[in-house]
Amino acid sequence: MSGNGIVSKIGFPGALDRRTVLRAGAVTAAAAALPVTAAAAAGPVFAHGVASGDPLPDGVILWTRVTVGPEAVPGSGAGDPAAVHWEIAEDSGFTGVVAAGSLTADAESDHTVKVDVRGLDPAHDYYYRFRALGATSAIGRTRTAPADSSSPARLRFGVVSCSNWEAGYFAAYRHLAARDDLDAVVHLGDYLYEYGAESAGGRGGAVRRHEPAHEIVVLADYRIRHGQYKTDPDLMALHARVPFVCTWDDHESANNAWSGGAENHDPATEGSWADRRAASMRAYSEWMPVRIQFAAGETRIYRRLRFGTLAELSMLDLRSYRDRQPELGTRDGDDPARTMTGTRQMEWLTAGLVSGSARWQVVGNSVMIAPLAFPPLDPDTAAAVTAVFGIPREGFAPNTDQWDGYPADRRRLLQALTDRGVSDIVFLTGDIHSSWAADVPLEAARYPTGPTAGAEFVVPSVTSAGIGDLLPTPPRTGSVALEDSVRALNPHIRYTEIDSHGYGVVEIVPDLVRMDWYYVADITDAGTAVRLAAAWELPHGGRIRPAG
C-alpha cells in the first residue's frame, strides 16, 4: 500500500455536497465501534449489494445502500440516518486493511453512500465491504487502473448495454461475473428503462414486471426503479466482482431524450422536462458508482480514464447537450449548426483523441457513429441530387437518433482525426440492441478508398427487444436477408447480427483490439447458456478484419 487512504464522499449538488466526509461525535464513534466480522445477516440491511467504479491508478469509487428499516425502501424518503463504516483491503479476509472510514446514509441520498477512495496502488486487486446496523455487506472485489506511465501487456473489458428488466433475465451479467479476467465492465447506457409495467417486453411479452408499475417521472419513481434493478442477483454479482465504467443514454431519463425534452415526455401530463431530467440525474448519481462532476451549474458525466500507455477510455454523454433529433426522411440533419455533443464536449473529445499519448484511444459511445444510410451518398458530388429529391446529404438514415442524425458533428470529429492521420481509435457502442462491426469512414460512399478513423464495435442488448424480435419470422430466418442487404449497401459495415442478446468482451493489446460477441440462448431463462458467436479485430494502423 503506497497511499494514505484519502477519501471523499460524493453527493448531488444542493443536497449531499453540503455534508462533510465524517460526521463528528457520536455518529462516527458508533460506526467505528461496529464489529469487524458480520454480526447479523447482511441481506436485509445491504439488500442492494455493493459496487465499485471508475478505477484510477490510485483510487476507485465504492458504493452501497443501507436499508435502515422495513419502511425505508428506495424512494420512500423514510428512515433515520445510519452510520456506515467501510473498509478496503488487499485480501478477502481483511487482514491487510489499507484504508477505512465512516460516513452517514440518510434519506436525503435515498440511504445510498458513495466513497471516492484514493491512495491505492495501481493495477492492484482490492476487496471492500461496508458495515452498518450490526450487519456486514457482501465482500466486493475491485481493481485499480495501471499507472499512467506503465505499459500493460493487455486489458480486457466486458461491454454491455440496454438491460430491460421486463424483457428478460440478466444472464449476460451472470456469465460476465463468472469470468476472472476482466479489468472492468464498460456499460454504455440504458442501464434501466423508464417504461411502465407491461410496456416493453420481448417477443412473448413481459417476463417480469417493473416497479413502480407506472412510467417513472419524479425522483421517487427513479429511485424505486434503480432499487429494483439493483436487486437482480446477476447484476449484483457482477457489480461485486469488477468495477464498472458507465455512461447514460436515454432510458435512464426517457426515450429519445435530448437537451430540451424527449420523445417519451409530455409536458402537459408529466410536468417540466427540466424537473424530470434533474430527478433522473440525481437518482443516477445516487445509485451508480460513477464519478460525476458538478461545476458551473453543469452535471458532467463525460470523462476520460487512462490505463497506462496502452489505452485511454473517453466516456461520452450524447444526451445532455444534443439538439432534437431530425424528422426521419427530411434534410433537417444537414444543418451544420446542429450538434450531438455540444461545443465544449466536442472540443474535449477531439483534443483528447488527436493528442492522446496512449497507443489506443477507446471511446465509450452510446449511439452508433458508423454511417448507416440507404444508399450512402458522397455529399460533394450528390448535392444536386439531394437538393432536387430532398434526400439528406449523405443518404437516407433509418435512425436519426444516432450520429446519422447529426452528420455535421460527426464530420467535424472524423475530419479532425483523418486530417491528423489518427486511426487507432475504437468506438464501443450500444443502444441499437444488435451487433455490428464496422470501419468508420470519413465518407461512406468513398469506402474503401477513402480515409477511415478507426473502427466501431457495437454490442447487443442484455435483454431489450431488438429488430429481430420485432420481425414476424423466427430468429435467423428473415433477419439474415436484412443483414445481407445492410452490408451490401454499406460495405464499411463488415458484420451485423440483429437477433441475439448478450454482451461483448474487448481485449486490447499493443498490436490490435479484438471484440468477441457472446450470445445467450434464451433471455426468458434465468439459467440460460452462452456461446461465443463472432470475433473481429482492428490491427494497429489498419482496418477491421475477422479475428484470427
Give one DSSP letter per residue of 423-492, joined into a string. --EEEEE-SSSSEEEEEEESSGGGTTTS-EEEEEEE---SS---HHHHSSSPTTSHHHHHHHHHHHH-TT
User: What was the pLDDT predicted at 548?
Assistant: 84
pLDDT of residue 377: 55
Q: What is the pLDDT of residue 478?
A: 83
* Nearest alpha carbon to residue 438 among 506, 515, 360, 346: 515
HSE-up of 114 (CA within 13 Å, CB side)? Answer: 23
> What size, in residues, is the chain?
548
Residue type, 444: A
Report the largest interatomic distance among the alpha carbons of the chain, rounded to a whole angstrom.
Answer: 77
Q: Do 386 and 377 form a contact (C-beta atoms < 8 A)? A: yes
Provide CB contacts within 8 A for 479, sequence distance 6+.
Answer: 467, 468, 471, 473, 498, 499
- Surface-to-core class of residue 196, CB atoms within 10 Å of its CB (0-12 exposed, 13-18 middle, 19+ buried): middle
Pull the grid cell for residue 382.
Answer: 450528390
Cell digits for 25?
461525535
Residue 85 CB neighbours (<10 A) = 21
- Three-state SS sequence of 172-218: HHHHHHCCCCCCEEEECCCCCCCCCCCCCCECCECCCCCCCCCCCCC
pLDDT of res. 222: 98
- Predicted local confidence at residue 472, as pLDDT: 84
Q: Whole-angstrom Cα distance, residue 533 to residue 158? A: 15
> CB burial class (10 A; 0-12, 13-18, 19+) of residue 326?
buried
Indicate the Cα dihedral angle 80, 48, 109, 117, nearest 10°.
110
Q: Residue 49, Cβ neighbours under 10 Å: how many?
A: 22
pLDDT at 26: 31
Please give the pLDDT value at position 332.
76
Q: So what's the pLDDT on residue 452?
A: 96
Listed as ranges, residues in the chain with pLDDT below 70 are 1-42, 374-396
Q: Three-class SS of residue 315?
A: strand
Do 425 and 363 form a contact (C-beta atoms < 8 A)?
yes
Burial of 199 (0-12, 13-18, 19+ CB in 10 A): middle
- Among residues 293, 217, 320, 280, the alpha carbon closest in space to that of 13 is found at 293
Contacts of residue 381, Cβ cutoff 8 Å, sequence gap at least 6: none
Q: Which domains are delineated in the chain?
A: 7-143 (2.60.40.380), 155-546 (3.60.21.70)
CA separation, residue 439 to residues 260, 389, 430 (Å):
32, 29, 16
pLDDT confidence of residue 36: 30
Cα 45 to Cα 68: distance, rounded to the nearest angstrom: 6
If 0-12 CB within 10 Å is exposed, 13-18 middle and 19+ buried, where does residue 334 land?
Answer: middle
C-alpha cell at 373: 444510410
Compute the CA torsion angle 122, 301, 496, 515 (nearest 10 deg).
0
The C-alpha cell that represents 19 in the structure block: 455534508
Compute φ and ψ for 274, nearest 5 degrees.
-60, -40
The answer to whether 194 touches 225, Cβ cutoff 8 Å, is yes
Q: How many CB atoms lie within 10 A of CB 322?
A: 23
Distance (Å) of CA 25 to CA 30, 102, 297: 9, 12, 33
> What is the C-alpha separation between 475 and 371, in angstroms, rounded?
25
pLDDT the model gives residue 215: 97
Would you state the cell numbers that stand for residue 92, as one nine-digit string? 478477502
pTM of this structure: 0.91
Record the cell numbers describing residue 267, joined without a space: 409536458
Provide the grid cell at 10.
Answer: 460524493
